[in-house]
Amino acid sequence: MVASAEKQEIVVNLYRPNAPMIGQCVETYSIVGEGAPGLTKHIVLSLPDPRYKYLEGQSVGIIPPGEDAKGKPHKPRLYSIASTRFGDDGQGRTVSLSVKRAEHVDKDTGEPGVGVCSGFLTDLKAGDEVMITGPSGKTFLLPEDETANLILIATGTGIAPFRAFIKHLFEEDPNYQGNIWLFFGVPTSSTLLYQGDLEAWKAQYGDRFRVDYAISREQQTADGKKMYVQNRMAEYGSELWEMLQKPNTYTYICGLKGMEDGINSFMAPLAEQAGQDWSKFQKELKRADRWHEETY
């Protein structure tokens, strides 16, 4: 968890765009299965400055090399951190990212292209230099409550901060006593990022860790439509509503913005049945720091 003393010492914007830190790619590998649509990689970067410390839920800025169309240096792109505060090296001297290669077709020329930063990152080889800014963000951190029960909702690379959350709480925090329930939405089975880790945690921690997948191109709802993460959650609507009534339940949402409307659409009638207004109740959860969204 994040103790109050740690929150006071959170490092933010130690390195800025005009003077970034120069790290190196330590390791990079694909985290999608064979035949997956698109490429997503786990990328480990070195942090040469020991003052660069981060917590689970923060983001790191990456400045791709070169210049933009106006001849100016590229602005940093923010990526949620996929490693715990100790890094994948266990020493806190690395930071890990989950990066999907953004591919598109130029409307005018019909030529294929890739995102400036995602293309740069997914092309990295061990030893390549990377301009790093940050760390950034204070709003997506873990709670202080060691009995907290977490509802984690992710799509695609939105799983990145939750890999960090789960690994830290179960493997690094001996005082954590709560449970974690993850809902993870992806298009195909081959794009279930970190599935090996998730299944290992499920096997090791039993009832303390639940995971439900929504695989939109392979699974269907009861009425024959595509199974998105909000549809999978709706199957457990009453149980989720009951959990949200407890003061030690914290919800985190990371990924595509579209899922927010889907979540609201099945939570609203549940709230109404309980004589409450969902939008008001959700605002209360946010004010109490029990509902966090990081969507794009």
Q: Which position among 15, 52, 254, 293 bears the catalytic label?
A: 254
The answer to whether residues 156 and 188 touch, using CB atoms and an 8 Å cutoff, is no
pTM: 0.95
Residues in the chain, total: 296
* Architecture of domain 4-136 in this structure: Beta Barrel (2.40)
Residue 7 has what pLDDT? 67
Known catalytic residue at 296: yes
- Is 4 assigned a catalytic role? no
- pLDDT for position 112: 85
User: Can you give the pLDDT at residue 5?
Assistant: 63
| Three-state helix/strand/coil letters over the chain | CCCHHHHHCCCCCCEECCECEEEEEEEEEECCCCCCCCCEEEEEEECCCCCCCCCCCCEEEEECCCECCCCCECCCEEEEECCCCCCCCCCCCEEEEEEECCEEECCCCCCEEECHHHHHHHCCCCCCEEEEEEEECCCCCCCCCCCCEEEEEEEHHHHHHHHHHHHHHHHHCCCCCCCEEEEEEECCHHHCCCHHHHHHHHHHHHHHEEEEEEECCCCECCCCCECCHHHHHHCCHHHHHHHHCCCCEEEEEEECCCHHHHHHHHHHHHHHHCCCCHHHHHHHHHHCCCEEEEEC
Catalytic annotation on 79? yes
Tens of pLDDT, residue by residue, the chain (296 residues): 776 666 667 989 999 999 999 999 999 999 999 989 999 999 999 999 999 999 999 999 999 999 999 999 999 999 999 999 999 999 999 999 999 999 988 887 888 889 999 999 999 999 999 999 999 999 999 999 999 999 999 999 999 999 999 999 999 999 999 999 999 999 999 999 999 999 999 999 999 999 999 999 999 999 999 999 999 999 999 999 999 999 999 999 999 888 899 999 999 999 999 999 999 999 999 999 999 999 98
Domain layout of the chain by residue ranges: 4-136, 149-295
Which residue among the candidates 52, 54, 79, 228 is catalytic per the annotation? 79
End-to-end Cα, the chain, rounded Å: 25
Q: Is 126 left (phi over 0), alpha (psi -120 to 50) or beta?
A: beta
Q: Is 80 among the catalytic positions?
A: yes
pLDDT at 6: 66
For residue 251, the number of C-alpha atoms closer than 13 Å in the C-beta half-sphere is 21
pLDDT value, residue 263: 93
Determine which one of 46, 80, 83, 98 is catalytic: 80
Q: Is 54 a catalytic residue?
A: no
Class of domain 149-295: alpha beta
Look at residues 98, 99, 8 and name the one whose alpha carbon lies nearest to residue 55: 8
